[in-house]
Homo-oligomer: A and B are copies of this chain.
Amino acid sequence: MATGNQRRVLVTGADGVIGRAVRQYLGDRYDLRCLTHRPAPYPSHVGDIADLASIAPAFAGVDCVVHLAASPSVSTPWSDILPNNLIGTYNVFEAARQAGVPAVVFASSNHTIGMNEIDNAPSIYQLDDPRVFDHLAEPRPDSLYGISKLFGEAVARYYVDRYGMRAVCLRIGTVRDDDRPGDPEVYGSVPEPLEYLTDEQRRERLRATWLSRRDCAQLISRAIDADDVPWAVVYGISNNPRQFWDLEHARRTIGYEPEDSAPV
């Protein structure tokens, strides 16, 4: 239940996998406002992020935007990447600026650097493999989707530098509604160059890249509350034994402390 002194947080893509986790775990902590593409069974501003005018009213009086809306699949074709991930992300930052919103949390992706993983797969999924990519890893997108998230990070950085906005980019791993990374029937989606992976390798990868819904909500909450962090790019996974993306920078910059971990 919202109270008067809570932060007013606009969640774009509130009906997606991560949006559902945000509404479940953070609905009491913030005064959440939802932006959805279609009418929802909860209060929501309905608009298309590819159309700035249709979403602009939702940004009035907001303290922070959590920008989740996008075509979420790593195999999304250009025809959807263009409106939903490129134009849409520009529109969200521009609508935030026009409305005077001081902060944006942007759902980026590990696919911004996915080619680094691909070059080191599948051995990098092994339990004893020491390799870890951090926020300084070379930008090497593995897909048009990954390109679109690098674009979003560039837009975010520009709005920080140019307009004094605050932005945290979360390179999110694999969030699933079922929250069951140990289920043998469960596989995460992979970029095309990893389609050669065996079922077992895909299970290992998912156990490395998993982000529990609860940890995802905590990560987003830490980013919303990090008033003294004008800019950060951090990875988002649970405390997984097979992890190969850095969590130290997320701990140090925004205080993220994952509570869950995937099975070995």
Please list the residues of chain A having a beta carbon within 8 angstroms of any beta carbon in chain B. 78, 82, 86-87, 90, 94, 115, 118, 139-144, 146-147, 150-151, 154-155, 157-158, 161-162, 192-193
Say whether B78 contacts A90, CB under 8 Å.
Answer: yes
Q: Are B142 and A154 in contact (CB under 8 A)?
A: no
CA distance A142 to B143 in the complex (A): 26
Docked-complex contact A143 and B115, CB < 8 angstroms: no
CB A171 to nearest CB in B, in angstroms, measures 14
CA distance A142 to B192 in the complex (A): 34
Nearest CB in chain B to that of A112: its residue: B154
9 closest pairs, A vs B, by CB? A115-B161, A150-B154, A147-B154, A151-B151, A141-B158, A141-B154, A147-B158, A140-B157, A147-B155
Excluding A86-B151, A142-B162, 12 further A-B contacts by CB distance (< 8 Å) are A86-B86, A115-B157, A115-B161, A118-B161, A139-B157, A142-B158, A142-B161, A144-B158, A146-B154, A150-B151, A150-B154, A162-B192
Q: Within the complex, what minimum Cβ distance (angstroms) separates A203 from chain B?
A: 25
Which residue on chain B has the smallest CB distance to residue A115? B161
Minimum C-beta distance from A234 to chain B (A): 16
Chain B residues near A139: list those with CB within 8 A.
139, 154, 157
Bound CA–CA A82/B89 (angstroms): 12
Alpha-carbon gap, A222 to B158, bound state (A): 32
Closest-by-CB residue of B relative to A87 is: B82
Closest to A151 in B: B151
| Residues in B whose Cβ lies below 8 Å from that of A144 | 158
Among A155, A158, A192, max chain B CB count under 10 A is at: A158
- Are B151 and A154 touching (Cβ within 8 A)? yes
- A78, B91: Cα distance in complex, Å: 10
Q: For the complex formed, measure the closest distance between the CB of A106 and the CB atoms of chain B, giving whole angstroms.
A: 14
Task: Kindly provide the distance from the CB of A174 to the nearest chain B CB, expressed in whole angstroms.
Answer: 21
- CA distance in complex: A139, B150 (Å): 10
Contacts of A147 in B (CB 8 A): 151, 154-155, 158
Q: With A and B bound together, what is the CA distance between A94 and B82 in angstroms? A: 14
Bound Cα distance A90, B87 (Å): 14
The interface centre, meaning the residue of A141, A161, A193 with most chain B CB atoms within 10 A of its CB, is A161
